[in-house]
Amino acid sequence: MRGGGLLVAGTTSDAGKSVVTAGICRWLVRQGVKVAPFKGQNMSLNSFVTREGAEIGRAQAMQAQAARVEPTALMNPVLLKPGGDRSSQVVLMGKPVGEMSARGYHGGRQRTLFEPVLACLEELRATHDAVICEGAGSPAEINLRRTDIVNMGIARAARLPVVVVGDIDRGGVFAQFFGTTALLAPEDQELVAGYLVNKFRGDVTLLEPGLDMLHGLTGRRTFGVLPYAHGLGIDEEDGLRVSLRGTVRESVVAPPLGADVLRVAVCAVPLMSNFTDVDALAAEPGVIVRFVDRPEELADADLVVVPGTRGTVKALAWLRERGLADALARRAAEGRPVLGICGGFQALGEHIEDEVESRAGAVEGLGLLPVRVRFDREKTLARPVGEAFGESVEGYEIHHGVAEVLGGAPFLDGCRVGAVWGTHWHGSLESDGFRRAFLREVAAAAGRAFVPAPDTSFGALREEQLDRLGDLIEEHADTDALLRLIEDGAPEGLPFVPPGAP
């Protein structure tokens, strides 16, 4: 099968492209297929550092885990990290190459990246039996088609068959499938092999007449109807929708071992990055994780997490405007636990000099940790290892801020003062022994009779979730037909659906 491929496109953002791609990767690798994921261009603040020190989207790192291969920059050659409403940092082959406005990027720079992106895809196809590519947004964004390097642009250049995923839970999925196809140029339509329904609830026989009519209208079949699956907790790409107060991170349904639960409140700072840092907490029996944006919501929290952010200075202003800064100061004075990660760690410090990210110059931090931060134009991308509470810890670093620690007790290259901890290390809570030791410290400081489960393995739970995705594909999709697509490409003679792209 060497060099087979498939593009998983979507009718909308959040249609389920990332999880479907991961599910297909896991299903294929279980069949003995050497498979790799790929996304030419990703826009996300949720990123990961590969072993060679390259920054890629966490969704592609998760998909690589589903494929049981080591993630590399080839799998996500272009990563856009929004810094505001109008600009993003452009990360090329894992390294930042500058800031650019959306108009500047789509106006010319994006097209110059087409050949490097295509070269990465072809390198993966040369070394794998199959490459499962994920699109972005919708392939029918006709205003962006001329410069597209992630949807039909890459599909047409690489002659990839395309399956379009639609989220039926939102409603209107038949119109989405038909409209997506009908807004593509004839040359693009030739590659759209069919559809995949995602997040269906109920009796699938009630859906079948609509699928038959869709086939009659488009000449394209539906390759499966995937049921709605609760509690997957898989890494998301474009960021948590934290505009909804009280969003609760999905967690295992298990009672605590001790007499108490632990309540974790995560400050929903602007431009929040790597919010998946708290997934390992949510995986612990008896730990409840929620995202908050008001000071009163910290009152009953046993631990408050100030997470990473692409805008440390903006997050500081937000914390002050919302009254959360004062609430955090009161917690620190009372010896109640606070954890700052990356940008959150920087915000907890005394002073920030930023001529890079916000260009705000000198800014006072919250003063809860004896740390001074200077932003460097060079980004730190690292995979550190260390020890804390007598347990080994692994993490990854993604930051421009360089921290000078002036006191406190050492903590993962950061520091601790009382019940306030700060570190640049993302992913540290995925180290099981360290996480349990940290939660024991938190419970003691919070006065809770909480006991961490002795056998929770975050890695094993993640593997179970990825297997569930593979099961969804194996049990609810026409895998024989998908395999033929991957091996042979889109079928010949697919009809044109008018009017096509203008």
The residues carrying an active-site annotation are: 342, 426
Q: Which residue has the tokens 């100061």?
A: 329
CB 412 within 8 A of CB 339: no
Q: What is the rounded CA–CA span in Å between residue 272 and residue 93?
A: 23
Phi, psi of 314 (to 5 degrees): -65, -40
Question: % helix / strand / coil in the chain, to the nearest 5?
Answer: 35, 30, 35
- Among 314, 280, 307, smallest CA distance to 465 is for 280
* CA angle 16–22–27, rounded 5-degree value: 120
Q: What is the rounded CA–CA span in Å between residue 250 and residue 413?
A: 30
Distance of alpha carbon 373 from the chain centroid? 27
CB 372 within 8 A of CB 395: no
- Among 274, 324, 276, smallest CA distance to 304 is for 324
CA dist 235 → 66, 115, 307, 376 (Å): 12, 28, 16, 29
Q: What is the rounded CA–CA span in Å between residue 399 and residue 401?
A: 6
Q: Which residue has the tokens 């019940």?
A: 419
Count CB-CB contacts under 10 A for residue 396.
23
CA dist 291 → 243, 272, 307, 447 (Å): 10, 11, 10, 22
CB 312 within 8 A of CB 272: no
Taking only Cα atoms into account, the Rg of the chain, rounded to an integer number of angstroms, comes to: 23
Tokens of 431: 């180290």
* CA angle 63–431–290, rounded 5-degree value: 75
Q: What is the rounded CA–CA span in Å between residue 368 and residue 125?
A: 50
